Structure 1
Amino acid sequence: MMNRRTLLVSAAAAGLAARVMAQTPPPAVAGGHVAAGLPEPDETIDLWPRGAPGMPAMPPVEIVDERSRDAGLTDRSVHGTIRPRLVVFRPRIPNGSAVMVTPGGGYARVVIDKEGYEIGRWLSARGWTVFVLFYRLPGDGWKAGPDVALSDAQRAMRIIRARARDYGLFPERIAAMGFSAGGHVCADLSTRFDAKVYDPVDAADRLSARPDVAAPIYAVQSMTLPIAHPGSRELLIGKDAPPALEAAHTPANNVTRATPPTFLVHAEDDPVVPVENSLLYRAALKKAGIPVETHLFTAGGHGFGLRLAMGKPAEAWPDLFLAWARTQGLG
């Protein structure tokens, strides 16, 4: 027989399950394959309960592409994101720390596996709770323009803090990590976490969006040519953007004493995003007195993530991040 307490607990669990089921599922290729032995996440959190603000007159259509020709690997990307959301990787035993990951994709798409799910699985296996953010893209016509990805990142960070207890997290142990153009989202969040880029939605928006530490990995940073990545720059601020707009969206120009401690990784032979992006950001952090850990690898190219760093010195970067994060009180 069920007593009152059991009934209430069961009802609460059913309500939680219903809320989880009501969320937009992770991006997926219709009929696509999955890699054997690699669990696919199924828990998501929609950022905007009443829909993302500033909808374009012609809303984008979310499309997921599979780029891998290897049946044993997936290399998916999504573009046209209309329902920005977090995909959650829960560890078996949480260590109390979390990281929000913003994958790259040149602001034309958001990669799913190489800079999202792979690091999500790796970190969650080591006790971290990982939230992979699928953010909106500035070229899709959203009202927020070049601040649209930042508004999703701010909102996501606040939601993670609001739900910290549900995930066994300390709200003061939330990191941000981003790759390539997602590294620009990460650095933008680190330097403009309190910029008003959207109207508050609920109580979560009273919380801070500041990451406790940040890790922009081979990040797009400068919006000034020739250092800027041309494709990311054009989609974010426009091909003919004036110098003032370039400066406003270059995180090195927005560093303050409130910017969180930062971990930087870049390959010096990066042919896509020049290493000067990280060097200029490091110089700005040092000037402001922000602790910064910097790892430059002679070889690695661009977009190495985890899989393409294997067998090279650059494959050490995730362990270096964990060691550094512990010195900052995380992990």
Structure 2
Amino acid sequence: MPQLNRRGAFALLTGLAALSTASMASAARKPAVPEPSEVRPLWPSDPPGSSGVTAQETVLERSDGKGPRDRAVTHTRKPTLSLFRPRKPNGAAVILIPGGGYERVVMDKEGFETAQWLADRGYTCFVLLYRLPGDGWGAGPDAPLQDAQRALRLVRSWAPGMKVDQQRIAVMGFSAGGHLAASLTTRFEAQVYDRVDAADDLSARPDLSALIYPVITMVAGTTHAGSRKQLLGAAPSFEAVQAYSAETGVGGRTPPVFLVHAADDKAVPVENSLMMFAALKAKAIPAELHVFEEGGHGFGLRSIAGKPVAAWPTLFETYAKKKGI
């Protein structure tokens, strides 16, 4: 699998062949954000269903230059996995799936920062830059799931060379990325793309799933309206709503799930996590749910200092170790 050095990895992520002297100077003035050591392409050539896709991949810098960088990628054309290697691997891996309402992928605050935190604790981490359902991909709402399944299979295929156990691979999703992680958790056996290579002979089932303030259901009034519109359109059928509501897909082989939400989340109602937890318990799937009184939405690691919700990363680490991850 092709690998890129640090500079090449950054160029691939931002969709630029090179950075101008001025833009490099501007970036140097911003507070540091962890950067991956490598970026690996998800597909050996164009992704499935790319015929007719004309959207142009763009990187938006959303910070004001005073705080940490906050990059969001729109119209992903070349899905990737950004790698964070631990100094002392503990034998487990985590694939992180940032959010962005299925309109963008928020790479820094829900991807790179959390990946580095986990890598510092021994986890080999991969941040998934995935395709978005509104860009005209052949698989429509399943295009992100194609990328998530492929990512899990690739990481499983790379595991032996990275001192990672193939049966100790977790997925962690945030917000709309939480919906994608939940979809992978419940639809890992769905045939959403044709075999590409030997990696696709491996299972796409995560060994543990962490859903952080996730979008779960597509039911109007409880879902995140923007994510539902991007995924299913303005007026989805009852059948589509049911099919893409993760709580309806929980089954006997669903892996253990760790959930975190804030009760005062005004973007993605806490009922999403409550519904998923109830569905898991109904099927006797091991699950742990933490609901914090305060925290809002999108807190990641940046907005937790001095708040009870600051406990969530350590709570995840404790649960993961309990489950052998």
Which of 131, 140, 148 matches 1:145?
140
**Secondary structure in 2 aligned to 1:50?**
coil
Alignment of 1:1-331 (within 5 A): 19-20=3-4, 25-27=12-14, 31=23, 33=27, 35-330=30-325
**Cα offset for 1:40?**
1.9
> What is the rounded CA distance, in whole Å, between the counterparts of 1:287 and 1:36 in structure 2?
46
**Cα offset for 1:28?**
6.2
Indicate conservation of the 8 Å contact 2:222/2:269, yes or no: yes
CA deviation string 1:269-306 (max 9, x = no partner): 00000000000010000001100010000000000000
> What is the rounded CA distance, in whole Å, between the counterparts of 1:37 and 1:229 in structure 2?
31
| TM-score in terms of structure 1 length | 0.91
CA deviation string 1:171-197 (max 9, x = no partner): 000000000000000000000001000
| TM-score in terms of structure 2 length | 0.93
CA deviation string 1:202-261 (max 9, x = no partner): 000000000000001000011011001110000001110011100000010000010000
> What is the rounded CA distance, in whole Å, between the counterparts of 1:162 and 1:118 in structure 2?
25
Indicate conservation of the 8 Å contact 1:181/1:232, yes or no: yes
Indicate conservation of the 8 Å contact 1:56/1:140, yes or no: no
Indicate conservation of the 8 Å contact 2:263/2:294, yes or no: yes
**Cα offset for 1:72?**
4.2
**Cα offset for 1:45?**
1.3
Any gaps of 5 or more consecutive residues in structure 1?
1-15
**Cα offset for 1:44?**
1.1
Indicate conservation of the 8 Å contact 1:108/1:137, yes or no: yes
Indicate conservation of the 8 Å contact 1:66/1:75, yes or no: yes
CA separation of 1:165/1:77 partners in 2, compared to 1, >3 Å: closer, same or farther? same
**Secondary structure in 2 aligned to 1:82?**
coil
CA deviation string 1:68-91 (max 9, x = no partner): 113341011001110001000001
The aligned amino acid for 2:267 is V
> What is the rounded CA distance, in whole Å, between the counterparts of 2:291 and 2:66 in structure 1?
33
> What is the rounded CA distance, in whole Å, between the counterparts of 2:118 and 2:39 in structure 1?
17
> What is the rounded CA distance, in whole Å, between the counterparts of 2:290 and 2:35 in structure 1?
31
> What is the rounded CA distance, in whole Å, between the counterparts of 2:3 and 2:63 in structure 1?
33
**Secondary structure in 2 aligned to 1:147?**
helix
> What is the rounded CA distance, in whole Å, between the counterparts of 1:128 and 1:27 in structure 2?
25
Larger radius of gyration: 1
